[in-house]
Chains A and B, each alone.
Chain A
């Protein structure tokens, strides 16, 4: 087990390195640069700026310098936000996104799994049909539509919920609802189909033949098998959601990492792009390792190689 985790982490580092390298060269190959868009930058000032951040050096040398720093945990200073390190941007913005995103994933899991189960257990009945119709509509509505509609109804019309920032607990309701909307619908559908699959398995018939009541056979025998596909989906979902959704953060003016990332791309803040990309990739890879381990814990048939 320990050997497996070490091996996977080793592979993870290779993946992150490849992603970082790709991003670095791609980003630098694209015409334009971080200081070109700024108004009235004299060639002299530009040269000083570029020298200050080492952008005047050959690309490969820049790459080596950056990687050396990154290995030691130094992701450099932001090129655009003077006086802030990339690390400090990530450590201040990530917790905000992670709180909203983490809660959204938690809600979608807590809501989607039972809804999917209920739907599967009542297959073909009114309850199942209602849940399936709602969930199918749910995966058809883009997040910006959800955001704006929520905003219009609860923020603008009814004025029940505040629309800006994250100052009180009420502020969290709409962003979380908007973020959890799609995953809830998706998990419900996933859970339903996987539950139906499990309910048709021979070992469920065995459980009933033993005289177990429906609750025990459902909770002990079915759920553990049926939840596996959801676990697989949850890993990448969590990685994406905790790093923040640009749309949700933009519409509800949340100071999170998602907005920061898109902002850095459009303003060519190279160090912030690199830092957040590496962070996102690392989170993604680690989530996948965790998913594999959880999978092994839930299903003893899986062999970790």
Chain B
């Protein structure tokens, strides 16, 4: 037998007590068990740890405050034309205003200057981002509902139902969307106008029928991506072994849908919807830029940028402010969506 390098005589001080069996409590005290946490709790914790996502969330909240809350007590309105103060640079006052200030009156500064019709630009930008955010949020909800219903019906029924429904999706993909938007805004002109005369529909005038037709176009066209995704997700889940296992254990269809399909899809749905918001804002700004968006005098970030192009040489900030803001909104939603994906849908994470 080889000599043990470490016989019992050793450096360690041992006493007979050490060789008594350890109690369960003593054993447990050493086991560091991580708490098992629920899907939501775990996801939120991961989201909270993601600095980029939290910064984006804060940015979104701030932009929302400025778009929805601040305008209600802002001293200027988006359509109010202040005479004599056209095309003023930021923080400047018109002669008339200067005179009133000299007279001891307090006048709120035009933080971002005024446009060529003498309207306070700051409030217009805020209203513009309000429109963009409304478009993004409403469109995302519309797309979420139509897309997920369509996709899940196709996936559930399968066979020729699926085949026909997916063909429809393909065709919608192929029709140029601008064509439909323009044609729809022409087509909806008369019906919407007569509708706006009716009591309770006056808001259509304010929002503009173009914006309504944008929503209708989103409802008609842009759900296809969502539908494809939901369909493939459900098809995959339908084949997955735990669903088969649940079925083998005698779970009802309702239970399988509620317990397995829904909980597994919900992460993907949240993420896709969040990422849909910036893409809708993108489209709206593009259409407003073309003059197909909101009705004047209501501004949107796209139409503000479009209006500013002609004066680009002299008043570049009129273009840059809405341009930067729109990029910022899209960026924040994108990053927030990425963060949500990492937190709630680890399967999609790369």
Instruction: Assess A/B contact in the complex (Cβ within 8 A).
Output: yes
- Contact residues of B between 319 and 343, Cβ < 8 Å to A: 319-320, 323, 326-328, 330-331, 334-335, 338
What 1/0 mask marks residues of chain A from 63 to 107 whose CB sits below 8 Å from any chain B CB? 000000000000000000000000000000000000000000000
Inside 8 A of A192's CB, which chain B residues have their CB? 350
Q: Which of A15, A32, A144, A156 has the most CB of B within 10 A?
A: A144
Residue of chain A at shortest CB distance from B332: A140
Kindly identify which residue among A15, A140, A265 contacts B174, using a CB–CB cutoff of 8 Å. Answer: A15
What 1/0 mask marks residues of chain B from 286 to 309 whose CB sits below 8 Å from any chain A CB? 100110000000000010011001
Q: Which of A26, A140, A148, A196 has the most CB of B within 10 A?
A: A140
Question: Does B28 reach chain A (CB closer than 8 Å)?
Answer: no
| Known contacts A32-B186, A265-B182, A281-B174; is-contact A140 B330 (Cβ 8 Å) | yes
Question: Does B190 reach chain A (CB closer than 8 Å)?
Answer: yes
Contact between chains at B334 and A136 (CB < 8 Å) = yes
Question: Does B285 reach chain A (CB closer than 8 Å)?
Answer: yes
Kindly identify which residue among B187, B305, B328, B338 contacts A29, using a CB–CB cutoff of 8 Å. Answer: B187
Kindly identify which residue among B174, B175, B183 contacts A30, using a CB–CB cutoff of 8 Å. Answer: B183
Inside 8 A of A194's CB, which chain B residues have their CB? 350
| Known contacts A141-B327, A145-B326, A246-B290; is-contact A136 B335 (Cβ 8 Å) | yes
Inside 8 A of A225's CB, which chain B residues have their CB? none
Q: How far is the CA of A197 from the CA of B330 in the complex (A)?
A: 26
Kindly identify which residue among A19, A31, A148 contacts B312, using a CB–CB cutoff of 8 Å. Answer: A148
B317 to chain A, nearest CB (A): 11
Residue of chain A at shortest CB distance from B191: A31
Question: Does A273 reach chain B (CB closer than 8 Å)?
Answer: yes
Residue of chain A at shortest CB distance from B167: A15
Question: Does A237 reach chain B (CB closer than 8 Å)?
Answer: no
Kindly identify which residue among A19, A143, A193, A266 contacts B175, using a CB–CB cutoff of 8 Å. Answer: A19
Question: Does A46 reach chain B (CB closer than 8 Å)?
Answer: no
Binding site for B on A (CB under 8 A): 15-16, 18-19, 22-23, 26-27, 29-32, 136-137, 139-145, 148-149, 151-152, 156, 192-194, 196-197, 246-247, 251, 261-262, 265-266, 273, 277, 280-281, 284-285
Binding site for A on B (CB under 8 A): 170-171, 173-176, 178-180, 182-183, 186-187, 189-190, 278, 282, 285-286, 289-290, 302, 305-306, 309, 312-313, 316, 319-320, 323, 326-328, 330-331, 334-335, 338, 350
Nearest 10 CB-CB pairings of A with B: A140-B331, A193-B350, A140-B330, A145-B323, A30-B187, A265-B182, A141-B327, A30-B186, A144-B289, A196-B350
User: What are 5 A-B residue pairs whose CB atoms fall within 8 Å in the complex?
Assistant: A136-B334, A145-B327, A149-B323, A196-B350, A273-B179
